[in-house]
Structure 1
Amino acid sequence: MDKFLQHISHAFSTPLTNPVLVFTIILTIILVSPIILRPIKVPGIIGFILFGVLFGPHGLNWLAKIDKATLQGSGVDAIDLFSTIGLLYIMFIAGLELDMNEFKKTKNKSLLFGFLTFIIPISIGFPVCYYFLNYELLPSVLIASMFATHTLVSYPIVNSYGISKNEAVAITIGGTILTDTAVLIILAILTGAAQGEINQQFWVTLGVSFALFLFIMFGVIPRIAKWFFQKIESEKTAHYIFVLAVVFFAAFLAEIAGLEPIIGAFVAGLALNKLIPHSSALMNRIEFIGNAIFIPFFLISVGMIVDVSVLTKGPMALIIAGTLTLVAVTGKFLAATATKLVFKYSKNQRNLIFGLSNAHAAATLAIIMVGYDKEIIDENVLNGTIVLILITCIIASIVTENASRRIVMEGHQDDEHVEHVPEHEEQILIPIANLASMEPILDFATLIKSKKSHHPLNILSVVADNEQAELNLANARKNLDNMARYASGSETEVELLTTIDFNIASGIGRTSKELFADCLILGWPSATSFIEKIVGEKTESILNRTDANLFMCRLDKSFVSHKSIVIFVPPLAESEVGFEYWLEKILKLGQELSLPLRFVCDSRTQGALQELPLMSKTSVPHGFENYEDWDNIYGLAAFNTVDALLVFVSSRYGEVSYRDSLDGLAKRIGRYFKNQNLLLIFPSRRENQHIDDYEDVQTAPIFRKISREIGNMFNKEK
């Protein structure tokens, strides 16, 4: 017994030395971190770093670098190996996902913006580091060059607002390629200088080796890759292994050439950029494996190095952190302002450029880690950089969202942003949850379904994948048969679908994508358990996993009890992708039920509604009532009548018309309007194309609530 206890005590003594246990803890962090931090919307890139700080040597001391030489005679550090792969992976994806076509369109303007966003932060940063913070020449140049980098953290926001084709966005993307490349070249020179004197031989060697490296990467590798992808077309696994081999070969080649491995990984991404489509299965594999394992490992290892206690030891650490952040933000703002003046952009376009280029994340972290490993910079700068990353990511997301919203309000959305669903191709999916409420939902679906569509209504039952799956599947099919019999009464054609999945929301999301569903019709959300509140409620999960229009129904009363339909439309709803689709369905519902429509909206949305050909052609009686205070949802009760069917238009989090007052709308209106039929509509959105899942920033509620005030610092209403 004593031996057993001693064995257990040794296994769990800190820092943990068992590689299997360490790996288990790190995987648990990767799994749990997004779940715990999702409710407060902490950016993923910061979340993993924070957990690294918590469990690292300067925190609970559970994790430390394991020199396996003491265990198995090998000199390889397990955490180091995975974090190095993660660092290279970040730079590879950064090069792979840059839009080279957009860069070509605006290359001249991109060149100028790239120069400005590179030179201005460096021009400010170097004297501040050298004279104010009293760093030596090499550290000052490295820190100043770090200010010049940026990561397109807030690009998903621009994409969701439908303004990704705006010229200001295009030149920012092009500038990213140029400034990051220039900084990586400076990094190569600095690391060479740190190892010895810079002389004529150094420059000749660097020039020749760099030219040879570029020739191999852009002249040889793309041709080999193209040949490989054509000849081994069916072997999808081989494609991924080949890409991985290219990344590490490029990193090794860069090291041989006297450059940093991260330069090699970045160039590998640029070299393979045209050969790997952004929406391909290969790209999905690259992002999935990187985002699931390698990149989180790197971010956690960064946290393990951070010593938060340094910030409390004296004012100098806080001064450095504050100064780095201030210089980073100021430099990027001045670069955006200079670009505005040169190209005569609007104030909103200037803020869009600033928002997109202000976030310091992947490239910044990569450069600062190289500098720390080479002992060019100290831990004060490392810790200050982590603070800088957190603050700039939050500012970037807030400013980008405000600027995007204002550009949309000016009417500058991409033409293809509005969705047009051909009526004969319409697919409607109805997931079964509560059989008792399914009949009125089926009636509702029959009323709004296009008569021109040759597709049946798809009724889905998702069965949990457990030991009773087969029994539950049989019961589900029996329930579906009951629905089919009911549908046959109105001569409605239905397709019965069953699927097994560990997660109901996942099953619905997967089936929706397989069907290319245009619309999902769900019952009203029921009370949630404590676990669901932490992990994410089913309805919220379904919203996150689907891009289609979603109608949520509470239809306890007969349709004949209604005398009107009141539709509450929030500001900017007309800019959503699915705007025309849900409007067409509501007009169809009014026509089927012979009920007048009353739209409650602000003056801008009313104008957009009245201009639509859809509204001018309809025979359904309709009117408008003005409401401007959309931060007060309960004020809408003034427009309610007891015999009205109430329709609330909402939005998925992060979309154009989303606002804080729409949080938890289903629960709030469900409690407030207890005895009325309710519809809650979430318009469709374009599929989010994130640069990197761990760079996707969604501001926390407290920051969203002050975002208007911060936005007003850069935008003042006339």
Structure 2
Amino acid sequence: MPGLSQYFPITSPTMIFFVVLCIILFAPIVMGKLRIPHIVGMVLAGVVVGPHGLNILAKDSSFDLFGHVGLYYIMFLAGLEMNMANFRKNRVRTFTHGIMAFVIPMAMGFFINRGVLEYSIMTSILLASMYASHTIITYPIVMRYGLARQRSVTIAVGATAITDTLTLLVLAIVGGMFKGEITGIFWLVLFLKIAAVFFVIIYFFPRIARFFFHRYGDNVAQFIFVLAMTFLGAGLMELIGMEGLLGAFLTGLVLNRYVPNLSPLMLHLEFVGNAIFIPYFLIGVGMLVNVRLLFGGLDTIQVACVMILVALTSKWIASFFTQKLFGMRAVERELIYGLSNAQAGATLAAVMVGYNLITPSGQRLLNDDVLNGTVILILVTCIFSSFTTERASKQIALENSAAVPEDEKADDEKIMVPIKHDTSIDTLVGLAVMMRNRVLNRGIVALNVVYDDTNRLQYQERGRRLLAHVTKVANYSGVMVQTQVRIATNITNGIKHAFKEFNASEIIMGMHAGQDSARQFWGEFIPGLFSGLNRQIIIVRCLRPFNTIRRIQVAVPSRAELEPGFYRWLERLTRMAENLECRMQFHAKRETLSLINQYIQSRHPSVQAEYTYMAHWIDMPKLSSGVADDHLFVVVTARKGTISYKSALERLPEELTGNFSGKSLMIIFPDQYGESVDIMTFADPQHHEQRSAYDMLTTWIRKRFS
């Protein structure tokens, strides 16, 4: 209809953005009904609305901009979410698969290009390099299933960086040969440029990030900072003639430990990428596809079929060899294959380089048939990769769900966080989020207790504002929170009663503000809590953001392994270290260290832990010399009357204030099952040290007159 066609393609920026948002909104809904991966819906929508489809949208500069941003964002998130301990553990597998995923497609493609398509040597090499590269556009699928830290994902993502780097080197060499620039100086300059950019990103970026995160805690500022660093890394890589996606990936790797996996910042980064940038990129990929090319001639169809066959087959062979070499499961091979057979970013770069190179005979190095075949290759491999990744991810997710240990399912975990000051909210809630069990996915309880006096209404209103802030911070991390402002004549009793009403399992609370004075170390309420509650209590003072903590040092008293709550606090600390990707160092006796090592190796093998023998608890203050400003020092203490209690623990306030002033501290009172501590102390069933006459007298008076 001529009257309607005059309105297309849409040129209004407002309407263009509206149409894109509609695609992003409805494509997953429609594809979900059809049980087709969402990514396929985005690409197909781009085909339909693009200039070669219904011509509703033109592929203008906004799609070029967001296309680059989306591609870089995928690579950045892949580096950011990678488990670095897992990456180091699987570096041989990653390197091996990366080399095979490059060499096999290169060799197979070269001989088929020469024998079947009858292309020249240079054209065959350049075209084979396109098969060797790949783009992990299906990475959002593994993110959705929570598999970003699986070893198969780590191998595929790391191999992507290797194959794309080698492909881009081939492009640089081919381009240099046509320009007559391949000399000894060419190789030296190329090496120096790459080394310089790698040095800047690896050495300076982490130090800049540590400086920034230590001084600025605002979520928006941190988000903008991370984006700026990502595109600075991509820009530096483009400056030396390499693809920006490598710079984005490398930036994600070096910022990895400063953006914890469960932090609000990570949630914001994933949200923006999955909501805008990545869908924009996928729609732009679809807009490149011209379906009419399928009917444009046999030459284009022949080239496209050969390219698709070589690309899919060679990547499968590389994945198969990786599986067999390292004894991996078939589903892991399928996931590696699904992540590493989609062609997009580097493939487009390669075809455009070859298309713009003119041979001495006046012909293009890569002709129109190759250009058109590449577009069809991109469409087919993206769709095939999406289905493969979706199927493998779903199977692994189901296996992981079925493999949850029974003791985790039976865990009574419910963390309570008493809040008094707004300055401690981010620290306490962040700690609770990192220590909670993600599999159980239970919320936390935030409590504010106010005195029942004449200022009660004023305190209640202040408490509601504090808990509203708690809810906001917890929701940033996707965690549900129950809140209560409680009125009590005694703060300690108010916390204890709320603890029982909510059936909480443990408490995380801030350290008393007067902690630098030994006499005021515990404050007014804490002694009543750890003597009146027999469940785990964690008291923390963190003087720097958690994401800048490099090491957690833990001092453990002798016989701590005999306490009922031994594995509870150990599990919480290892979860924290796993989320922060920081090292742990335990100081204890050998029998205790042996059990800690066994537990970590079986339940959290990715945690890097060191074990240092500490002969006597009196040596604990000497550990202060090895505790740096970016370390968290954890003291596992004990209540009177318990197995691991010793009289030396009575000097804990003096020792901590005298030796660990200005350090980030955490004190843990382990879980005790059964009767309350004061009853246990009176009956003395577990006490292994002689009690003083003063202790016996005060206990008798308390029991006699209470």
What's 2:196 paired with? 212
Bigger CA drift: 296-305 or 148-157?
A: 148-157
Q: In 2, Cα distance between the equivalents of 1:192 and 1:25? A: 42
Relative to structure 1, the CA distance from residue 515 to residue 184 in structure 2 (aligned partners, 3 Å threshold; closer, same or farther) is: farther
Would the aligned equivalents of 2:37 and 2:390 in 1 still touch at CA under 8 Å?
A: no
What's the CA shift for 1:342? Answer: 3.2
| Aligned: 1:371 with 2:350 | yes
Give per-residue Cα distances to partners, 1:356-382, cap 9 Å, x unaligned. 2344467x3111222344435512212
Bigger CA drift: 299-308 or 168-177?
A: 168-177
What's 1:267 paired with? 250
Q: In 1, Cα distance between the equivalents of 2:311 and 2:407? A: 37
| Aligned: 1:387 with 2:370 | no
**RCO higher in structure (CA 8 A, sep ≥6):** 1
| Aligned: 1:514 with 2:480 | yes
SS at match of 2:55: coil
Paired AA for residue 409 in structure 2: H
What's the CA shift for 1:219? Answer: 0.9
Residue of 270, 290, 297 corresponding to 2:280? 297
SS at match of 1:115: helix
Relative to structure 1, the CA distance from residue 414 to residue 117 in structure 2 (aligned partners, 3 Å threshold; closer, same or farther) is: farther
Relative to structure 1, the CA distance from residue 361 to residue 272 in structure 2 (aligned partners, 3 Å threshold; closer, same or farther) is: farther
How many residues are aligned here?
415
What's the CA shift for 1:511? Answer: 13
Would the aligned equivalents of 1:251 and 1:265 in 2 still touch at CA under 8 Å?
A: yes
| Aligned: 1:420 with 2:438 | no
| Aligned: 1:281 with 2:264 | yes
Q: In 1, Cα distance between the equivalents of 2:175 and 2:406? A: 46
Q: Where do 5+ consecutive residues of structure 2 fail to align? A: 356-365, 417-441, 446-467, 469-474, 484-706
Relative to structure 1, the CA distance from residue 400 to residue 90 in structure 2 (aligned partners, 3 Å threshold; closer, same or farther) is: closer
Give per-residue Cα distances to partners, 1:618-640, cap 9 Å, x unaligned. xxxxxxxxxxxxxxxxxxxxxxx
- Sequence identity percentage: 35
Residue of 51, 69, 89 corresponding to 1:85? 69
What's 1:42 paired with? 36
Q: In 1, Cα distance between the equivalents of 2:286 and 2:182? A: 33
Match runs of 1:191-590 below 5 Å? 197-233=181-217, 235-343=218-326, 345=327, 349-360=329-340, 364-374=343-353, 375=355, 378-398=371-391, 419-423=408-412, 425=414, 513-515=479-481
Paired AA for residue 27 in structure 1: L
SS at match of 2:7: coil
| Aligned: 1:30 with 2:24 | yes
Paired AA for residue 46 in structure 1: V
Would the aligned equivalents of 1:57 and 1:304 in 2 still touch at CA under 8 Å?
A: yes
What's the CA shift for 1:205? Answer: 1.9
Q: In 2, Cα distance between the equivalents of 1:197 and 1:366? A: 25
Would the aligned equivalents of 2:98 and 2:160 in 1 still touch at CA under 8 Å?
A: yes
What's 1:114 paired with? 98
Q: In 2, Cα distance between the equivalents of 1:162 and 1:24? A: 30
Relative to structure 1, the CA distance from residue 396 to residue 284 in structure 2 (aligned partners, 3 Å threshold; closer, same or farther) is: closer
SS at match of 2:344: helix
| Aligned: 1:123 with 2:68 | no
Paired AA for residue 379 in structure 1: N
Q: In 2, Cα distance between the equivalents of 1:31 and 1:137? A: 46
What's the CA shift for 1:299? Answer: 1.9
What's the CA shift for 1:253? Answer: 1.4
What's the CA shift for 1:335? Answer: 2.2
What's 1:94 paired with? 78
Would the aligned equivalents of 2:335 and 2:388 in 1 still touch at CA under 8 Å?
A: yes
Give per-residue Cα distances to partners, 1:122-148, cap 9 Å, x unaligned. 221222234323445555444433434
Q: In 2, Cα distance between the equivalents of 1:511 and 1:273? A: 17
Give per-residue Cα distances to partners, 1:270-313, cap 9 Å, x unaligned. 22222222222112222222222222222222222211100122
SS at match of 2:242: coil
Q: In 2, Cα distance between the equivalents of 1:132 and 1:21? A: 47
TM-score using structure 2 length: 0.51
What's the CA shift for 1:213? Answer: 0.7
Q: Where do 5+ consecutive residues of structure 1 fail to align? A: 1-5, 67-76, 428-452, 457-498, 500-508, 518-718
Would the aligned equivalents of 1:158 and 1:400 in 2 still touch at CA under 8 Å?
A: yes
Q: In 1, Cα distance between the equivalents of 2:199 and 2:406? A: 40
Which of 1 and 2 has greater Rg?
2
Bigger CA drift: 294-303 or 195-204?
A: 195-204
| Aligned: 1:17 with 2:8 | no
Q: In 2, Cα distance between the equivalents of 1:511 and 1:199? A: 53
Match runs of 1:130-209 below 5 Å? 130-137=114-121, 140-149=124-133, 171-172=155-156, 174-190=158-174, 197-209=181-193
What's the CA shift for 1:190? Answer: 5.0
Q: In 1, Cα distance between the equivalents of 2:8 and 2:377? A: 27
Q: In 2, Cα distance between the equivalents of 1:513 and 1:210? A: 42
Q: In 1, Cα distance between the equivalents of 2:68 and 2:139? A: 26
Q: In 1, Cα distance between the equivalents of 2:57 and 2:141? A: 35
Give per-residue Cα distances to partners, 1:593-652, cap 9 Å, x unaligned. xxxxxxxxxxxxxxxxxxxxxxxxxxxxxxxxxxxxxxxxxxxxxxxxxxxxxxxxxxxx
Relative to structure 1, the CA distance from residue 51 to residue 190 in structure 2 (aligned partners, 3 Å threshold; closer, same or farther) is: farther
Bigger CA drift: 81-90 or 306-315?
A: 81-90
Relative to structure 1, the CA distance from residue 81 to residue 168 in structure 2 (aligned partners, 3 Å threshold; closer, same or farther) is: closer
Relative to structure 1, the CA distance from residue 137 to residue 244 in structure 2 (aligned partners, 3 Å threshold; closer, same or farther) is: farther
What root-mean-square deviation, in Å, do the aligned CA atoms of Structure 1 and Structure 2 show? 4.1
Q: In 2, Cα distance between the equivalents of 1:280 and 1:425? A: 19
What's the CA shift for 1:197? Answer: 4.1
Relative to structure 1, the CA distance from residue 176 to residue 425 in structure 2 (aligned partners, 3 Å threshold; closer, same or farther) is: same
Q: In 2, Cα distance between the equivalents of 1:297 and 1:129? A: 33
Relative to structure 1, the CA distance from residue 295 to residue 397 in structure 2 (aligned partners, 3 Å threshold; closer, same or farther) is: closer
Would the aligned equivalents of 2:81 and 2:149 in 1 still touch at CA under 8 Å?
A: no
What's the CA shift for 1:104? Answer: 0.9
Would the aligned equivalents of 1:321 and 1:388 in 2 still touch at CA under 8 Å?
A: no
Paired AA for residue 386 in structure 1: L
SS at match of 1:378: helix
Relative to structure 1, the CA distance from residue 249 to residue 371 in structure 2 (aligned partners, 3 Å threshold; closer, same or farther) is: same
